[in-house]
Structure 1
Amino acid sequence: MTTTLTALTGFIAWTLFLLILMEIIRSGLVIRKTVQANAFRPDNANLSPFMQRLARAHANCLEGLPVFGGIMLVATLSGNAAITDPLAYTLLGARIVQSLVHLASLSVMAVNIRFIAFAVQIGIAVYWTFRLLTH
């Protein structure tokens, strides 16, 4: 498997991890009868601030996956993984940093760090797209 496909699998695994974490916590709330099973909102607006951040971090991954994953798949399927391989783990690392900081805090500093992590991902995606289109 190429570095690109490994990083894409990591991105998918990270997204899945956030979903499983959210569902484990939600299940605990139901078992403890803190929240009724039918009372959850998609954005966890009726739950703790951490759960709201977790829902948003998961949604961020889902929103980014078609763009970043799509570019990675195009590169791989077109035989151009050499374009994406060098920065594939950087993109994955930036995504994980973005999520972890999102889970930790909504402070101004945290939001700035999240933005930087997201900007790294966007910069990589733009670079990859340009390279793939001009290759």
Structure 2
Amino acid sequence: MNPTLFTLTAFIAWTLFLLVLMEAMRSNLVLTRQVAPTGFTPDNAGLSPFMQRLARAHANCLEGLPIFGGLMLVALVSERTAVTDPLAYAFLAARGLQSVTHLASASATAITLRFTFFAVQMAIGAVWTWGLLAAA
């Protein structure tokens, strides 16, 4: 499996993992009668700060998947993974670190660090876009 295909698959798997974690925690809250089954909002408002950060980390992945996943998919379908392969693992690391930092804390330092990891992803996305357009 080349780096682009691995990264796309791992990005999808990470997004799914965050969803499963959130739903397992929500299920526990329902089963222990701490929250009614209808008591959830998409952003987990009213729940613990961790649950709110988890909802946001998952949403961040969903927001980025069409853009970054789309670029990787374009590279795969057009057989131009030479454009995305060199930075694929760096992208995946930045995405994972952004999510983990999001889950760990809402401090000013964590927010700055999280944005840094996101900025790395944006830069990689720009490089990929330019490279794919230039190769077209």
Cα distance in structure 1, aligned partners of 2:41 and 2:128: 36
Deviations 1:33-60 (A, max 9, x none): 0000111111100111100000000000
Unaligned runs of 5+ in 1: none
How far did 1:71 drift? Answer: 0.3
How far did 1:25 drift? Answer: 0.4
Cα distance in structure 2, aligned partners of 1:37 and 1:46: 14
AA in 1 matched with 2:42: P
3-state SS of paired residue (2:37): coil
Cα distance in structure 1, aligned partners of 2:117 and 2:36: 36
Deviations 1:73-125 (A, max 9, x none): 00111110011011111101100100000001111110110011000000000
Cα distance in structure 1, aligned partners of 2:39 and 2:128: 42
AA in 2 matched with 1:39: G
Unaligned runs of 5+ in 2: none
3-state SS of paired residue (2:34): coil
Aligned counterparts, 1:34-73, within 5 A: 34-73=34-73
- TM-score, structure 1 normalization: 0.98
- TM-score, structure 2 normalization: 0.98
Give the match for residue 16 of structure 1.
16
Give the match for residue 75 of structure 2.
75
Cα distance in structure 1, aligned partners of 2:24 and 2:79: 39
Give the match for residue 7 of structure 1.
7
Cα distance in structure 2, aligned partners of 1:76 and 1:86: 14
Over 6 Å off, 4+ runs: none
Cα distance in structure 2, aligned partners of 1:131 and 1:82: 9
Query: Percent of counterpart pairs with the same letter?
Result: 62
Cα distance in structure 1, aligned partners of 2:12 and 2:131: 24
Q: RMSD in angstroms over aligned alpha carbons? A: 0.6
Aligned counterparts, 1:115-134, within 5 A: 115-134=115-134
